[in-house]
Structure 1
Amino acid sequence: MDKIYTFILKVSDFDIEKSFIYLQELDKYKDRNIISHPQKLFSQLIRYLVFKRFFSISNIKFNQLESGKPNLVNSKLDFSISHTTKFLIMSVSERKVGVDIEHIRDRKNIEKIAERFFRDEEYSQLKKSENFIKDFFMLWTLKEAEVKRSGLGIAKGFNEAAFKKDIDNKWISCNFEQDFFTFNYEDIIGSICCENVENLPREFFRINNNFGFEKINIEEVK
Structure 2
Amino acid sequence: MALVKEIEVESGTLYVWHITESVEELETWLELSAFSQARLLKMKSVNHQKAFLAVRQVLRQLNIADTDLTYNENGKPSLSSGVHISISHSFDYAVVVMSEQNVGVDIELIRDKIVRLSSKFCNERELRFTPTGYLKKMEYLTEIWSVKEALFKMCNSRSLSFAQDMDVNVEQRQAKISQGDFRVELKYHLFRLEDYVLVVSY
- Structure 1 Cα separation of the partners of residues 149 and 37 of structure 2: 32
Matched, 1:134 2:122: no
- Name the residue aligned to 1:51: 59
- Structure 1 Cα separation of the partners of residues 37 and 109 of structure 2: 32
- Supply the RMSD in Å over aligned alpha carbons: 3.0
- Structure 2 Cα separation of the partners of residues 21 and 81 of structure 1: 21
- Name the residue aligned to 2:26: 19
Which residues of 2 match residues 133-212 of structure 1 at below 5 A? 133-153=138-158, 155-158=159-162, 159-164=164-169, 169-174=171-176, 175-177=184-186, 179-194=187-202
- 8 Å contact kept, 2:26–2:54: no
Aligned residue pairs total 182
- Structure 2 Cα separation of the partners of residues 120 and 86 of structure 1: 33
Q: How much has 1:64 moved relative to structure 2?
A: 2.1
When you count strand as a share of all residues, which structure comes out higher?
Answer: 2
SS at match of 1:144: helix
1:18-43 per-residue CA deviation (whole Å, 9 max, x = no partner) reads: 222433x4658766846853344334
- Name the residue aligned to 2:67: 60
- Structure 1 Cα separation of the partners of residues 190 and 167 of structure 2: 16
- Structure 2 Cα separation of the partners of residues 66 and 35 of structure 1: 19
SS at match of 2:81: coil
Question: Taking structure 1 as reference, are residues 9 and 38 closer, same or farther at Cα in structure 2, changes over 3 Å only?
Answer: farther
TM-score by length of 1: 0.68
Question: Taking structure 1 as reference, are residues 173 and 3 closer, same or farther at Cα in structure 2, changes over 3 Å only?
Answer: closer
Q: How much has 1:81 moved relative to structure 2?
A: 1.1
Higher relative contact order (CA 8 A, sep 6+): 1
- Name the residue aligned to 1:123: 127
SS at match of 1:152: coil
- Name the residue aligned to 1:41: 49
1:47-73 per-residue CA deviation (whole Å, 9 max, x = no partner) reads: 43333431x33573433223322222x
- Structure 1 Cα separation of the partners of residues 115 and 65 of structure 2: 47
TM-score by length of 2: 0.74
- Name the residue aligned to 2:106: 100
- Structure 2 Cα separation of the partners of residues 188 and 51 of structure 1: 22
Matched, 1:5 2:17: no
